[in-house]
Structure 1
Amino acid sequence: MNKRSAKSSLLFTGSDWNFDMLSRVYDAIEEVAIDDLGLDVYPNQVEVISSEQMLDAYASIGMPLMYRHWSFGKHFVHEELLYRKGRRGLAYELVINSNPCITYLMEENTMAMQALVTAHASFGHNHFFKNNYLFQQWTDAGSILNYMEFAKGYISRCEEIYGIAAVEAILDSAHAIMDQGVFRYRRPPRLSSEKERQRIRERLEYEERSYSDLWRTVPQKQDGTEQQVAERELRERKKSLKLPEENLLYFLEKNSLILEPWQREILRIVRVVAQYFYPQRQTKVMNEGCATFVHYTIMNTLFDRGQITEGALLEILASHANVVFQPDFDDPRFSSINPYALGFAMMQDIERICVNPTAEDRDWFPDIAGNGDWRGTLRNAWADHRDESFVLQFLSPALMRKMRFFMLDDQAGENFYRVGAIHDERGYQRVRAALAHTFDLSANQPDIQVVDVDLLGDRRLRLQHTIQSGSLLAEQTRDATLRHIRRLWGYEVSLAGVDADSGKLLYETSIEEA
């Protein structure tokens, strides 16, 4: 190939970009992603924004449409200060799990970075959003933007009618328990249409105007001992209220006796936003690993085809190396396992196992070792797993050795660590299980549920915290959060901490006034 023909095959040569160039690069990336990797993606909508707009998107938790709240402004000022002082960079992109999938590119990016980001977000993240089972079952990509437009307009109207302070008070309390406002073990309701939302609002207004028979019925005399009557009433209460309930926002939205219809709708809005982001918290390693592997593979394929220059590839690889950098445990920069580094390394390792397995790989992964179909194996893994199960299924001894993983046991009663697992057959199993456990949200977030409320008696809301491994809540933040729940419930709220293994009551506290 002569120099002229080689130059004409290049997608770009310099750092500057224009929209024709972006379109040409997008088409080349799409060809590799669809025809070679076999990715299945939502239609893409690519938008170019400024650094200030990127900061604004940061502040509003990455949504193009979002209601107003003071915490978003606080976050914006903080991020902007760090960015202007050069103490923190900005992401090259932002991608929205929607249909169409929206990717934001920063206008300050070079052309090489725009290509990298397009491959990473518009095809890597996009494929994962569309095909992973958690996103398919627990989010509705086709409705989220319309719903957020409704939410933004609804809260703005509430501010006009009821005042900013009143709306902010409800949002503050709802945000305080946002992490406890998701369905973890049962499928959440789908986003409703505008007609359905109108029906819900009319129902709530009717409930506010009417007395429920449950609240005004006078208890009749019942047969049996006092204890038997109390136990029977408890069973009936739990059955009628469907207790225990893990989703605190959902319970308060449906059962609070003091909330007005507009306040219930705001709780529902916050609950929908929390549920939308819940799968992303369970798939950080897989989602970022998938996107990083996709951009790395596509960019190298374009270079092999002579469509990008060595200089562009070096710039891309320099950015890629920064993303997947994993500091050692004794490095001042170490905070935890880098999800990009672990995810990308596991994707590459799966490719190696499928194409060039060792005897060890064949023992550990008999179903995929040497099958030659690394593309199909990865697509299946991306579709069928979350972080915890992915690590349990695919983390290999070879990668544990490469990343020098081992396990330390830390006992509260001892002033030293014990090495709990090393690189032997049993050690690999323990290291893999321990690492997978760190990605189990159910084990790493407080399990707090509504267990009882006597609506015909004192109306005290009883919560129970099931304590895992002796991990108690910090008293200051615990009590502050309970005050927010008290504000939404309207009556006394109590929280009991119960040990998960023994069932022993470890603490009990209550908040009578917000």
Structure 2
Amino acid sequence: MTLLLDAPSGPLYTGADWDYDKVRKVYDAIEQVGVKEMGLDIYTNQIEVITSEQMLDAYSSIGMPLLYKHWSFGKHFARDEVLYRKGLRGLAYEIVINSNPCISYIMEENTMTMQALVIAHAAFGHNHFFKNNYLFRQWTDADGILDYLSFAKEYISKCEERYGLALVERVLDAAHALMNHGVHRYPRRRGLDLRLEQQRSRERQEHAERTFNDLWRTVPSKAGGPSPLSDRDRRRALLELPEENVLYFLEKKAPRLQGWQREILRIVRHVAQYFYPQRQTKVMNEGCATYCHYRILHTLHERGQLTDGAWLEALHSHTNVVFQPEFDDPRYGGMNPYALGFAMMQDIERIATNPTAEDREWFPDLAGSGDGMVALKDAWANYRDESFILQYLSPAMIRKFRLFHVKDDHREPELRVQAIHDERGYREVRQALARQYDIAWAEADIQIVDVDLTGDRRLLMEHRVMNQVVLEEEETRAVIQHLADLWGYEVVLEEVDAASGARLKKHTVGPRTVLGGTFG
């Protein structure tokens, strides 16, 4: 007996207009290719159709439509709306949330072909990357993020009703200014369950109410004798200093903040931690999603399930996304993560299935392994942008993009081309490009190093300066001002040369307003 498989009976749709039946039909076909043939491992999908105005609103809230309200989101909405209405910028075709179920927002203004491309890109490409990459598995809680965002929105709304919009906004302003310095860069514990944060919040409040007794404030301290915190090393050990997570330290140690203000810092900190993996995987994440949508739609076209017109429309949008301007092009703004990521994914597949002699020399374990998807899924699971480029950027890719390394030394009057795409320059170019995606190299290393809570309570911080590049004066003082307002006392930031230890610059800022209550 011969088993006959149903062959595609023709195009999944014709024309530009879409409806929900067509979307369901296309989704099923994409799932067949993506999951059953390519082996993508995804969360359950939830597709939401929204208007362009709702997409702008999602833009404004840093890609999180369920996030709490803040005036800065409205400012971003107004700016983006004006640019969009004047035709000066377009909108993203989709927004996808790293959650379980994985929510993909698609615009109702899209054509049917664009809906197909978006579903393949977001609901399968990004979805697979979110579920399998080690950074997302280590740092984010896809099962609990939606419940936590709902809790955060409700909690901040109640704070606005109880304490006033102005005070809550000042706390959020300060927390947002410090957001990039509100993450743990090294794992402290695994399995943070955001779904339990609402319960933990209630328990913290109930514990504070049970244990608070104002009479303790009137008990006199012992006269004379050395303070147990007089020794700087002991004090730093008790406070677990140095500490690079500024929001965490303020949440736990700021002497004047009230409980609800600490909870807001905790909320902003959890949101910042949620985005931490995304900041380190832009090239890989977009490269994975772009590779997936291209391969899936190409497969559907080869089988006659997409018309030639639909495939050309998809190629047009795809080509625009992966366009990389030359360095001397007025449109150049650095490496396009879509272009670099997609090209590297295709290159890995080529090396695995059809390697050259050069590939065998540079990638002896990968070259000729035979299965491109196995190699790609291994890369998607185990690397971030910096290590991915260091591991997989091939000489062929360096030549294709015509990459070269420019040395910019502030002590020299001219720039110097340090390495080009040739035998002597491949490794140096690869290392220089990878370093641009290293957060430790690209972002300022700022840590809290000391504070005497029994003395003047002045907060001491250090910036470890790389290559003599100090912080911009005006912006630094504005950020430290927010920090001082939360701390309630003077904040000092010293910029120290990481190599020599020399003191290069000092910033001192006192609190402008006291956001918390009176200490004592």
Give the TM-score normalised by the residue count of structure 1: 0.94
Q: 1:217 to 1:299 in 2, by over 3 A?
A: farther
Which residues in structure 2 correspond to 1:121-160 (within 5 Å)?
121-160=122-161
Q: Deviations over 1:75-94 (max 9, x none)?
A: 00000000000000001111
Which residues in structure 2 correspond to 1:273-284 (within 5 Å)?
273-284=271-282
In 2, the alpha carbon distance for the partners of 1:503 and 1:115 equals 56
Please give the secondary structure, in 1, of the residue aligned with 2:425: helix
Kindly provide the amino acid, as one letter, of the partner of residue 143 in structure 2: G
Gaps of 5+ in 2: 1-5, 513-520
- Structure 2 match to 1:314: 312
Matched, 1:199 2:192: no
Which residues in structure 2 correspond to 1:257-406 (within 5 Å)?
257-406=255-404
- Structure 1 match to 2:517: none
Alignment check: 8 A CA contact 1:6 1:306 kept: no
Alignment check: 8 A CA contact 1:17 1:110 kept: yes
Matched, 1:502 2:476: no
In 2, the alpha carbon distance for the partners of 1:163 and 1:470 equals 44
Please give the secondary structure, in 1, of the residue aligned with 2:418: strand
User: How many Å apart are 1:222 and its aligned residue?
Assistant: 5.0
Query: Pick from 482, 486, 492: which aligns with 1:488?
Result: 486
Alignment check: 8 A CA contact 1:453 1:460 kept: yes
In 2, the alpha carbon distance for the partners of 1:103 and 1:69 equals 23
Query: Pick from 198, 219, 235: which aligns with 1:237?
Result: 235
Please give the secondary structure, in 2, of the residue aligned with 1:412: coil
- Structure 2 match to 1:51: 52
In 1, the alpha carbon distance for the partners of 2:222 and 2:432 equals 54
In 2, the alpha carbon distance for the partners of 1:22 and 1:442 equals 43
Which residues in structure 2 correspond to 1:111-190 (within 5 Å)?
111-187=112-188, 189-190=192-193
In 2, the alpha carbon distance for the partners of 1:217 and 1:282 equals 49
Q: Deviations over 1:16-36 (max 9, x none)?
A: 111010000000000100122
Matched, 1:450 2:448: yes
- Structure 2 match to 1:469: 467
Q: 1:101 to 1:219 in 2, by over 3 A?
A: farther
- Structure 2 match to 1:511: 509
Please give the secondary structure, in 2, of the residue aligned with 1:425: coil
Q: 1:234 to 1:14 in 2, by over 3 A?
A: same
- Structure 1 match to 2:29: 28
In 1, the alpha carbon distance for the partners of 2:220 and 2:464 equals 33
In 1, the alpha carbon distance for the partners of 2:7 and 2:364 equals 44
Alignment check: 8 A CA contact 1:205 1:261 kept: no
In 1, the alpha carbon distance for the partners of 2:188 and 2:12 equals 45
Please give the secondary structure, in 2, of the residue aligned with 1:9: coil
Further displaced range: 233-242 or 204-213: 204-213
Alignment check: 8 A CA contact 1:98 1:142 kept: yes
Alignment check: 8 A CA contact 2:256 2:488 kept: yes
User: How many Å apart are 1:169 and its aligned residue?
Assistant: 0.7
In 2, the alpha carbon distance for the partners of 1:506 and 1:216 equals 43
User: How many Å apart are 1:71 and its aligned residue?
Assistant: 0.2
User: How many Å apart are 1:508 and its aligned residue?
Assistant: 1.6
Alignment check: 8 A CA contact 1:406 1:421 kept: yes
User: How many Å apart are 1:209 and its aligned residue?
Assistant: 5.3
User: How many Å apart are 1:235 and its aligned residue?
Assistant: 1.5
Q: 1:99 to 1:220 in 2, by over 3 A?
A: farther
Q: Deviations over 1:253-308 (max 9, x none)?
A: 00011011110101111111111011000000000000000000000000111100
- Structure 2 match to 1:75: 76
User: How many Å apart are 1:210 and its aligned residue?
Assistant: 6.0
Gaps of 5+ in 1: 224-228
Kindly provide the amino acid, as one letter, of the partner of residue 185 in structure 2: R
In 2, the alpha carbon distance for the partners of 1:211 and 1:354 equals 72
Alignment check: 8 A CA contact 1:406 1:422 kept: yes
- The size of the alignment, in residue pairs, is 503
In 1, the alpha carbon distance for the partners of 2:450 and 2:222 equals 19
In 2, the alpha carbon distance for the partners of 1:324 and 1:306 equals 25
User: How many Å apart are 1:437 and its aligned residue?
Assistant: 0.1
Kindly provide the amino acid, as one letter, of the partner of residue 64 in structure 2: M
* CA-atom RMSD in angstroms: 2.0
Q: Deviations over 1:370-423 (max 9, x none)?
A: 011110100000000000000000000001001100111122122222110123
Please give the secondary structure, in 2, of the residue aligned with 1:353: helix
Q: 1:211 to 1:412 in 2, by over 3 A?
A: farther
Q: 1:431 to 1:79 in 2, by over 3 A?
A: same
User: How many Å apart are 1:55 and its aligned residue?
Assistant: 0.5
Alignment check: 8 A CA contact 2:96 2:104 kept: yes
In 1, the alpha carbon distance for the partners of 2:395 and 2:290 equals 22
- Structure 2 match to 1:92: 93
Give the TM-score normalised by the residue count of structure 2: 0.93
Please give the secondary structure, in 2, of the residue aligned with 1:345: helix
Q: 1:512 to 1:370 in 2, by over 3 A?
A: same
Q: Deviations over 1:455-483 (max 9, x none)?
A: 11111111111111111111111111111
Alignment check: 8 A CA contact 2:301 2:308 kept: yes
